[in-house]
Structure 1
Amino acid sequence: MDLKDRRISEWKRFYESFKFAWSGIFQTFKAERNFQIHVFITVLVCIGGLALHFTKFEWIVILFLVGGMLAFELMNTALERVVDLVTKEFHPLAKSAKDAAAGAVFIYAILSVIIGIIIVSNHF
């Protein structure tokens, strides 16, 4: 394989990594109610931010919160599926892993709501 073919192959793998990522996002959206809820709330928050004329800094904070929330939910889904792949039977460690991942999502959701309330309260 010459240098040109190797570069094309690297770009193809790079492109395909984006395809796989989008596929994971869309599959999660189709299958996971919580992810759908988070996306719906994201849309509402963005509409609210436009209506309230969030500052650039407020938008940065909101985008980090929304992006983090969606990323946490994707990771939680990935962990749940891996655990389900490893064992179909009840196992205390599997439950513990799933509960811990769900707890991480829950903590970030609470933090996001609190910060969102602080940001929105500045506009009233």
Structure 2
Amino acid sequence: MINVQKVLRSFRFATEGIITLFRYENNARVHLLIALLVILAGFWLNLSRVEWTIILTQIGLVWAAEAFNTAIEKLCDFVSPGLHPQIKAIKDLSSGAVLLLAITAVVVGVVVLGGRLVDVIMTLQVTAEPNS
């Protein structure tokens, strides 16, 4: 039998984690701002359902990667508060993973949004041309 109270408590803890991520982590706030701009651009460019799915998946992946990176960094700082070459390597790898995913998200965004933008520009040019 599912314990509904445990499930609700788990969701509350997860929500607190998300709030903490965006409240205290500068990079997460940067990703949030960029995501909002991309979403606005998506509405302006009238993305299809498939395009929305792709864009929103990329946004969610970057946020999740940022959350994992933050958790790993906090764990490293707790376990080894001083400077240690292994801890540095772990933190660098973790932040590198976020960077790889962010770069991928940018490329996907350029393909999806850029493709739509080209379509909009071409449509505007066709409608702006005088009839011969």
TM-score, normalization by structure 2: 0.86
Shift of 1:90: 0.5
How far is 1:81 from its partner?
0.3
**Pair 1:57-2:50 in alignment:** yes
Match of 1:67 in 2: 60
Q: 1:113 aligns with which of 89, 106, 111?
A: 106
State the distance in 2 between where 1:23 and 1:98 align. 23
1:99 maps to 92
Cα distance in 2 for partners of 1:79, 1:29 equals 16
Aligned-partner residue type, residue 82 of structure 2: E
Aligned residues: 117
SS at match of 1:93: helix
2:13 is the counterpart of 1:20 = yes
CA distance in 2, matches of 1:106, 1:39: 15
1:116 Cα deviation from its structure 2 partner: 0.5
Name structure 2 gaps, 5 residues minimum: 119-132
Q: Percent identity?
A: 34
RMSD value, Cα: 1.0
**Cα separation, 2, equivalents of 1:85 and 1:11:** 32
Partners of 2:6 and 2:87 in 1: how far apart?
A: 33
Alpha-carbon distance in structure 1 between the residues aligned to 2:56 and 2:23: 22
Cα shift at 1:63: 0.8
Structure 1 unaligned segments of length 5 or more: list them.
1-5
Shift of 1:120: 1.4
TM-superposed CA distance for 1:30, in Å, is: 1.1
Q: Which letter maps to 1:85?
A: F
Once residues 121 and 62 of structure 1 are traced to their aligned partners in structure 2, the CA distance between those partners, rounded to angstroms, is 12
In 2, the alpha carbon distance for the partners of 1:13 and 1:94 equals 34
Where in structure 1 do 4 or more consecutive aligned residues deviate above 3 Å? none
Q: Which residue of 1 aligns with 2:127?
A: none
Q: Computing the radius of gyration over CA atoms, which structure comes out larger, 1 or 2?
A: 2
